[in-house]
Amino acid sequence: MKQLVITLIGTDRPGLVETLSDTVFQHHGSWQASSLSKLAGKFAGIIQVDIKNEDVDSLAKALNGIPELDVLIADTPRQSEPDSTTHSLTVTGNDRSGIIQEVTREIAKFGININKLKSHAQSAANSGGMIFTADFDLDIANSIPLSDLGEALEGLSDDLIVEFDVSDI
């Protein structure tokens, strides 16, 4: 068995995810995980598929045959579990340029892997400005105190609020 990570981007349209899931199924793949989004009118997604070695080429050909969809397929080795725990982190503050760059730089200083990042900006009801929120899933080595990371992130700006969900994911 192989584990594939498939990245997709193309014109969004009704039925596209069904076409993808049917294509994976018809080529004997097992859809393991995914993150799919519509951004600026485009479909963007990443899918993890387990599949037998002999079915990889036919799946790749079928996916690449879907109109108006760019496909990138990476074969990934199976990895052993590291000595870490996955935690959720939410960072909220007044929207400004550079928040993601500053936060990810601090996270990288601790050697922490970002598993997932979702962000958005929305109008602040009371102030009329914009509030930026970023939600992370982070693999944090068990030897790193969450308080150290929290202090480093809060030190970036007076208006950043840093919250951890300390329960394991």
- Write the pLDDT tens digit of every residue in 84-130: 888 999 999 889 889 999 999 999 999 999 999 999 999 887 777 89
Winning range, highest mean pLDDT, from 73-77, 131-135, 156-160: 131-135
- Closest-CA residue to 8 (of 57, 48, 55, 40): 48
- Which CATH topology does 2-76 take? Alpha-Beta Plaits (3.30.70)
How would you classify the pairing of strands 130-141 and 84-94? antiparallel
The predicted structure's pLDDT at residue 169: 41
Enter the tokens of residue 42: 């485009």
Q: What is the pLDDT of residues 5-57, one digit of tens each?
A: 999 999 999 999 999 999 999 999 999 999 999 998 999 999 999 999 999 99
What Å distances lie between residue 142 and 65, 110, 118, 149, CA to CA? Answer: 44, 12, 24, 12
Q: What number of other Cβ atoms are within 10 A of residue 57's Cβ?
A: 10
SS3 62: helix
3-state DSSP: the chain helix, strand, coil percent, rounded to 5?
Answer: 25, 45, 30
Number of H helices, E strands in the chain: 4, 8
What are the domain boundaries of the chain? Answer: 2-76, 84-164
The CATH class, in words, for 84-164 is alpha beta
